[in-house]
Amino acid sequence: MRVLVIGANGKTGRIVVNRLREGTHTPLAMVRDEAQVGRFADRGVDTVLGDLEEPLDPALEGCDAVIFAAGSGSSTGPDKTLAVDRDGAVRSIAAVEEAGIQRYIMLSAMRADPGSEGHPISHYLRAKGIADEHLIRSDLDWTIVRPGRLTDEPGTGRIRVSPKLETPGSVTRSDTAAVLVAALDHPNVSRRRFDLLEGETPIAAALDGL
C-alpha cells in the first residue's frame, strides 16, 4: 500500500516513515515546509506538502491508507492543540472519507477523553478524545492506538496492549511506530481502540491477543 504519513516530520512520524520504507509498504511523507523535504528525499522517500489547517485532498491522491502521527505535543497551549489534535484530525478523517480511502490508523493517547477534567493536560486529552470519537463514528476501517508516555529509548519489540490499561506507564516511540505500521495489515485490530505500554509480549503476539 501507499501510505500517507501525516505528521511525518515529528519524532514518532519519522520512525513510522522509516518502518514503512524498510517493510512492504511505500510511505508518502506529508510535510508542512519545503525545508523538510530534503530529510526524506535523502532516504528515497517521496514527500507531499500539506497542512492540517488547509484542504488535504492533493496529499491523498494515489494513497491506499493513512497513518495520523501528527500532534501538537502535550506541552502546547490549548489553541494549537485544538488546531492540530482536534480540528486537524477531524478534517483529515473527512478528507480520507471523501477520497474513498478506507484504512486509517490514528495515533492517540492513553486517557484521551472528550470529557477529561482535572488533569494537567486535560485540554490535550479532550482534543484527542474528540478526534477519536469522530473517527469511531466514521465509515472508515480505523484503528486507534493509545500509547502511554512516549520515550526516545531504543525499542524492545515487546509491548502490553489492552482495550483499557488502568496503570499509567511509558512506551518507546520506536515500538509505538512499529505498532502503527503493524496495524495496517493486522486483521485483529480493524475498528478497534487499545492502550499501549512497554511489556514482555512480542508486538504481533500482543495484537493477536487483543
Please pick, among 124, 147, 161, 171, the residue that the annotation labels catalytic: 124
- Catalytic: 104? no
Examine the pLDDT at 76 and tell me if it is beyond 70.
Answer: no
| pLDDT exceeds 90 at position 41 | yes
Mean pLDDT of 72-87: 72
What's the confidence (pLDDT) of residue 81? 78
User: Which has more pLDDT, 76 or 130?
Assistant: 130
Instruction: Assess contact for 152 and 11: CB atoms under 8 A.
Output: yes
Dihedral of the alpha carbons of 60, 62, 67, 68, in degrees to the nearest 10: -10
Topology of domain 2-150, CATH = Rossmann fold (3.40.50)
At 74 the pLDDT is 53
Task: Tell me whether residue 166 is exposed, middle or buried, using C-beta atoms within 10 angstroms of its C-beta: 0 to 12, 13 to 18, 19 or more.
Answer: exposed
Separation of alpha carbons 63 and 66, rounded Å:
8
Residue-level pLDDT at 75 = 56
What is the full DSSP assignment across 149-178?
EEE-SPP-SEEEEES---S--EEEHHHHHH
Q: Is 107 helix (H, G, I), strand (E, B) or coil?
A: strand
C-alpha cell at 54: 488547509
- What pLDDT sits at residue 119? 86
Only one residue has cell 525545508, namely 35
Average pLDDT of the chain is: 94
Confidence label for 196 from pLDDT (cuts 50, 70 and 90): very high
Q: What pLDDT score does 53 carry?
A: 85
Cα gap 181→129, rounded to integer Å: 22
In this predicted structure, what is the pLDDT of residue 121? Answer: 86
Domain residue ranges of the chain, discontinuous segments joined by +: 2-150
How confident is the model over 3-40, as pLDDT tens digits? Answer: 999 999 999 999 999 999 999 999 999 998 899 999 99
pLDDT of residue 73: 60
How do residues 80-137 score in pLDDT, each as one tens digit? 778 888 999 999 999 999 999 999 999 999 999 999 998 888 989 999 999 999 999 9
